[in-house]
Amino acid sequence: MTMTATVLLALGLSIVVYLAVGWWYNSTVRGVGDILPILFGKNARVESHQEFSASTVATPLSLATVVVAFYSLVPALGLWLLWTAVTTALGLLIFRIVVPRIWTKMSSYSYRPTLHAYLGTEFDSSTLALVASVFTAVGYLSAFAVELIVGSGFLSGLLPGVSKVLTVAVLTAVSFIYTGMGGFRTVIVTDRIQMWFMWLFIVAMGAYLYFAGANEGWPVAIQHIPESIRKPSWNNGLIPFIVGIAIMNLLMFISNMALWQRIAGSQEPTIVVRGMAGSVLGAASSWSLLVLIAVGALMLVTPNSNENLLVTTLSSVQHSAAGKLLIFCSVLALYGAMLSN
């Protein structure tokens, strides 16, 4: 099987799974409360703390963008990228601290308010609600556009004969179709599936790097990683990165509409509280491991300035059965992460 066939097989399986989930939950839709988490007790819900945790890790900052960025930046920043994992976990921890208060305030409403509706009501300003809703819409559309750009760029590297326009069209259509069929409940379920696929990618890439290093001999394999990455040192050029990432990740989740929706869709406060605790651990572990396997990829390949390191890595392993399995898992994970809403 060629690499193109492997990629198309993974995409086909993903599309079938997501559309099947949308079709399944479409039968439960009876009204707007089954589409959007605005009414308590309807089907637009988060049913467990495991769902809340998986969806929270998958959604606020897309893991597809994160993974591609890690593989792009690791030749320059190396293990300093672990700072993103630390600050993301701390940002979610800050949100975890304020979650009980958010739940209490939300429970005083006769409906489950959106973030902009909440702001407009609490500050008694329809103008504020309108401005907040505009920024929410622009933010979501911008994030989705970034996902399409990142995803089509990644897939075009693995499918050189396929039009990028066609790739974008398919990605967009699938996302809108399954979300439109099943609404918020479909999003929550597919978010959890997408996190399963992301963990499958982490395990598969970690296992491949482990056996590759063991076969060559660890002392030799590690020497392929540039010394500047194996032994990171401080320089003043890192200050903008350290400060900028800290400000973004520590404050981002407080105002995140996706997290607010997950709280609105939860049926019990314990789902939110336990789910956020799992989110902190899940983000810290998954992001840290993604950085480490990106660094480990340098044992296999030399970075190419014209190509993302992940594409270079997957292209280099395509001729073995284990390599094809790794490509399959990678496409499942990256495509799924691109569709998180």
- Is 22 a residue whose pLDDT tops 60? yes
Lookup: tokens for 252:
């981002």
Question: What's the mean pLDDT when you consider all of the chain?
Answer: 90
Lookup: tokens for 161:
């004969």
Nearest to 18 by CA among 234, 266, 196: 196
What average pLDDT does this structure show over 241-245?
A: 94
Using the CB atoms, write b or e for 105-144: b if 16+ within 10 Å: ebeeeeebbbbbbbbbeeeeeeeebeebbeebeeeeeebb
Q: Would the CA dihedral through 159, 297, 62, 72 be positive or negative? A: negative
pLDDT category of residue 128 using cuts at 50, 70 and 90? very high
Q: Give the separation between CA 63 and CA 59, rounded to whole angstroms.
A: 8
Q: Give the separation between CA 163 and CA 179, rounded to whole angstroms.
A: 25
SS (H, E, C) 40-74: CCCCCCECCHHHHHHHHHHCCCCHHHHHHHHHHHH
How many residues does the structure list for the chain? 341
Please say whether the beta carbons of 18 and 177 come within 8 A.
no
- Is 59 a residue whose pLDDT tops 80? no
pLDDT (tens digit per residue) in 162-172: 777 887 788 88
% of residues, the chain, pLDDT over 70: 99
pLDDT value at position 49? 93
Lookup: tokens for 289:
């491991």
Q: Give the separation between CA 341 and CA 140, rounded to whole angstroms.
A: 8
What average pLDDT does this structure show over 171-192?
A: 90
| CB contact set of 41 (below 8 Å; sequence gap of 6+) | 267
pLDDT value at position 60? 61
The pTM of this model reads: 0.92
Q: Give the separation between CA 15 and CA 12, rounded to whole angstroms.
A: 5
pLDDT value at position 341? 57
- CA separation, residue 311 to residues 6, 15, 96, 319, 329 (Å): 14, 21, 36, 14, 13
pLDDT (tens digit per residue) in 185-233: 999 999 999 999 999 999 999 999 999 999 989 999 999 999 889 888 8
What average pLDDT does this structure show over 99-125?
A: 91
* Residue 138: half-sphere exposure toward Cβ, Cα within 13 Å: 6
What average pLDDT does this structure show over 139-162?
A: 79
pLDDT category of residue 288 using cuts at 50, 70 and 90? very high
- Is 122 a residue whose pLDDT tops 60? yes
Please say whether the beta carbons of 265 and 112 come within 8 A.
yes
pLDDT value at position 61? 61
pLDDT value at position 2? 86
Beta bridge partners of 46: 266
Q: What is the DSSP string of 124-160?
A: T-HHHHHHHHHHHHHHHHHHHHHHHHHHHHHHHHH-T
Q: What is the CA radius of gyration of the chain?
A: 21
